[in-house]
Amino acid sequence: MPNHKSAQKSEPEPRLGEWLTRLFALLFVVGVIQSVTQAVVPLIPTLIGSSAALVAGLLAWRGWGYYQGLEKNRQALLNAAFYQLVQQNQGQITALDLAMQANLSGDIAQRYLKRQACDFAAHFDVTEQGEIIYRFATARTLATPVSGSTGSGEPIASLIQAELARRLEVSPSSISSKKRRPNFSEWSKTRDPENIAWQYSPETQRFYPMD
Q: Which domains does the chain have, with CATH numbers?
A: 42-137 (1.10.10.10), 140-211 (no CATH)
How does pLDDT run across 148-203, given as a tens digit for each residue? 444 444 556 788 888 888 888 887 778 888 899 999 999 999 888 888 999 999 88
Cβ within 8 Å of residue 179, ≥6 positions away: 161, 200, 207
How does pLDDT run across 90-138, given as a tens digit for each residue? 788 888 888 888 888 888 889 988 888 888 777 877 777 788 888 876 5
97-127 burial, b at 16+ Cβ within 10 Å, e below that, comes to: bbbebbebeeeebeebbeebbeebebeeeee
Nearest partner of 122 among 179, 168, 166, judged by Cα: 166
